[in-house]
Amino acid sequence: MSLLVIGSLAFDDVETPFAKQQNILAGSGTFISISAGFFAENIQLVGVVGEDFGEKNLNLYRERGIDISGVQVVAGGKTFRWSGRYHYDMNSRDTLDTQLNVLADFNPVIPHAYQQAKFVCLGNIDPVLQKSVLGQISRPKLVVCDTMNFWIEGKPKELQETLALVDALIINDSEARQLSKDPNLIKSARIIRAMGPKILIIKKGEHGALLFTDSGIFSAPAYPLETVFDPTGAGDCFAGGFIGYLAKAGEVNDQTLRRAVLYGSTMASFCVEKFGVERLLDLTPLEVGDRFQSFLDLSKIDD
Amino acid sequence: MSLLVIGSLAFDDVETPFAKQQNILAGSGTFISISAGFFAENIQLVGVVGEDFGEKNLNLYRERGIDISGVQVVAGGKTFRWSGRYHYDMNSRDTLDTQLNVLADFNPVIPHAYQQAKFVCLGNIDPVLQKSVLGQISRPKLVVCDTMNFWIEGKPKELQETLALVDALIINDSEARQLSKDPNLIKSARIIRAMGPKILIIKKGEHGALLFTDSGIFSAPAYPLETVFDPTGAGDCFAGGFIGYLAKAGEVNDQTLRRAVLYGSTMASFCVEKFGVERLLDLTPLEVGDRFQSFLDLSKIDD
């Protein structure tokens, strides 16, 4: 089924304790759509870039079957840029520079052809823009929303308005504690689900992820990684694998949601192996299947 | 199959942010043997108490079918006492007082009838005493060892000598990082398994537990608790459920080990619901079975 993705398209400069690279093709819209493309067809991307983004980069989406007729190219504009440095533990990072550029005045316009999308992924951008997207489309089967501490702190009221309209929210454990104002993740989940999203995924990094639905709790293991090369985009790849699998399955129920969490975890585990989308670009469906099986094996108990 | 347990028998004074109680029957030997008793028969306990321990407490073990002919009662001696206060998050605590008393001169003597035990659980005591036990018995089918930061810091050389002799080690995540001197748990596991124990369990509190064997990694979920009443003894109850189930199963392989980790987690999740062994004393096999099923459901993916 058709999948509408909205998110940032960016160039990142990333520095880790082990390597650094500049002008990395990145942004939540990029990671989500490419990750989802391993599962879903008819992916429709909405975003904005500057003239510096270039045809070569735009072709990268087109070649993967991603519809970019919803991506605005601002003449004379510059693409959003982010620059950051990861600490030794790879769990924390400093933002060195943020240049919003064309993202500063971004007003997402959903093309007519996109308005009937059955699955919608609101990548991590201003909750006001996320809400504006929902105002322009027919009621989809599933709306998944991603956000971050920046919006929880900076636009709490606007975020609440968006959360009231979405079916599923994906956040990490520290964001869940911040949003709910409760240190216990089980209580946090109850509080956040009361804000709107009946489906809640809390990502816990090296400790896996928790899925909360009306059917109960699912605990997903983490892939046992000894080294992380670049964590940037892992959360977006999770969201892409999650909603991409659901769009392919066409059904949203406890069993497809559980599998979707494992496919999201699978995509995130590949993302961190190289800079940006590099690993996703050379990834094969066979590798995805093998790693998904590894996730199943990690918590398998024979009957 | 017969299960030999060695550990402390103690009186605890415990203070949490919500309640406090004195003279709680406790100690690793107590928690392990009572927890294991839900699965195994022929449990043989080795430990030491003072004259103040009393017949009433000794009968508590006897009534549960635990053989205490290996428990030394020191005439005129006082039982080991520990006193602690938990912080608001229930994850950290301050030791307010430790009175070793009869434990200071404890020299475990393994009764002849215990020397053929097939399963052995070395509760958290001085690694020198743990090693002395192994020197007095025939080679068992499985030796499980528990330890803590106190011994990792205080007797590193002696602990290494004991670890070289055991089949399985149960520790928590911060202890694993301390023992291996590596922050990554997957690398830590590799380093610790090279010290001796081919079976390693790393407990991660609210994030569940990891089992490392030659067959690979098993990731066990945590029971979704909204409140913890008293965490004291949870680790010992885990060890008791773990080895108790294995002693009952009689076979140590990847599948029984995985189930053993979930039974250990099950027993720990009950332990924290009340002070000391209180919850274990009113616990029924039906409740144990129900909660074990909840653990299975938490990570279940239908084929």
- Using one digit for the tens of pLDDT, what is the confidence trace for A184-210? 999 999 999 999 999 999 999 999 999
Instruction: For residue B293, tell me if it sits in a domain.
Output: yes
Extract long-range pairs of A277-284: CB within 8 Å, 24+ residues apart.
A277/A25, A277/A26, A277/A30, A277/A31, A277/A34, A277/A233, A280/A31, A280/A34, A280/A35, A280/A38, A280/A237, A281/A34, A281/A60, A283/A38
For residue B249, the distance in angstroms to the closest alpha carbon of chain A comes to 15
pLDDT digits (tens, 9 = 90+) for B155-211: 999 999 999 999 999 999 999 999 999 989 999 999 999 999 999 999 999 999 999
Q: In this predicted structure, what is the pLDDT of residue B227?
A: 84
Q: In this predicted structure, what is the pLDDT of residue A282?
A: 96
Task: Tell which residue, A79, A119, A55, has the closest CA to residue A251.
Answer: A119
Residues of chain A positioned with their CB less than 8 A from the CB of B302: 255
- Return the number of other C-beta atoms located less than 10 Å from residue A1's C-beta: 17
Give the confidence band of A92 by pLDDT, cuts at 50, 70, 90.
confident
Among B89, B172, B210, B217, most A C-beta atoms within 10 A, so best to mutate, is: B217
Quote the ipTM score: 0.91
Query: How is residue B221 annotated by DSSP?
Result: P
Q: In this predicted structure, what is the pLDDT of residue B302?
A: 85
Q: Which domain holds residue A275?
A: 3-298
End-to-end CA distance of chain B: 34
Please indicate whether, in this complex, the C-beta atoms of B298 and A217 are within 8 angstroms of each other: yes
Q: In this predicted structure, what is the pLDDT of residue A261?
A: 98
Q: In this predicted structure, what is the pLDDT of residue B218?
A: 98
Task: Tell which residue, B9, B17, B1, has the closest CA to residue B34.
Answer: B9
For residue A250, the distance in angstroms to the closest alpha carbon of chain B comes to 17
pLDDT digits (tens, 9 = 90+) for A159-192: 999 999 999 999 999 999 999 999 899 999 999 9
The answer to whether the beta carbons of residues A170 and A239 sit under 8 Å apart is yes
Among B255, B300, B302, B303, most A C-beta atoms within 10 A, so best to mutate, is: B300
Beta strands at B142-146 and B119-122: parallel, antiparallel or unpaired: parallel
Query: Averaged over B88-115, what is the pLDDT?
Result: 91
Give the confidence band of A228 by pLDDT, cuts at 50, 70, 90.
confident
| CATH value at residue A60 | 3.40.1190.20
Phi-psi category of residue A205: left, alpha or beta, with phi > 0 → left and psi -120 to 50 → alpha: left
pLDDT digits (tens, 9 = 90+) for B112-149: 999 999 999 999 999 999 999 999 999 999 999 999 99
pLDDT at B291 over 90: yes
**How many domains would you assign to chain B?**
1
Chain B residues with CB-CB distance to A under 8 A?
A: 89, 183-187, 204, 206-208, 216-222, 224-227, 255, 258-259, 262, 296-302
How deeply is A303 buried, as exposed, middle or buried, from its count of CB atoms within 10 A (0-12, 13-18, 19+)? exposed
Instruction: For residue A303, tell me if it sits in a domain.
Output: no
* SS3 of chain A: CCEEEECCCEEEEEECCCCEEEEEEECHHHHHHHHHCCCCCCEEEEEEEEHHHCHHHHHHHHHCCEEEEEEEEECCCCCEEEEEEECCCCCCEEEEEEECHHHHHCCCCCCHHHCCCCEEEECCCCHHHHHHHHHCCCCCCEEEEECCHHHHHHCHHHHHHHHCCCCEEEEEHHHHHHHHCCCCHHHHHHHHHCCCCCEEEEECHHHCEEEEECCEEEEECCCCCCCCCCCCCHHHHHHHHHHHHHHHHCCCCHHHHHHHHHHHHHHHHHHCCCCCCHHHHCCCHHHHHHHHHHHHHHCCCCC
Beta strands at B209-213 and B199-203: parallel, antiparallel or unpaired: antiparallel
pLDDT at A89 over 90: no
Query: Averaged over A86-112, what is the pLDDT?
Result: 91
Q: In this predicted structure, what is the pLDDT of residue A265?
A: 98
Q: In this predicted structure, what is the pLDDT of residue A227?
A: 84
Residues of chain B positioned with their CB less than 8 A from the CB of A302: 255
Report the chain B residue with the minimal C-alpha distance to residue A89.
Answer: B183
Instruction: For residue A153, tell me if it sits in a domain.
Output: yes
Instruction: For residue B303, tell me if it sits in a domain.
Output: no
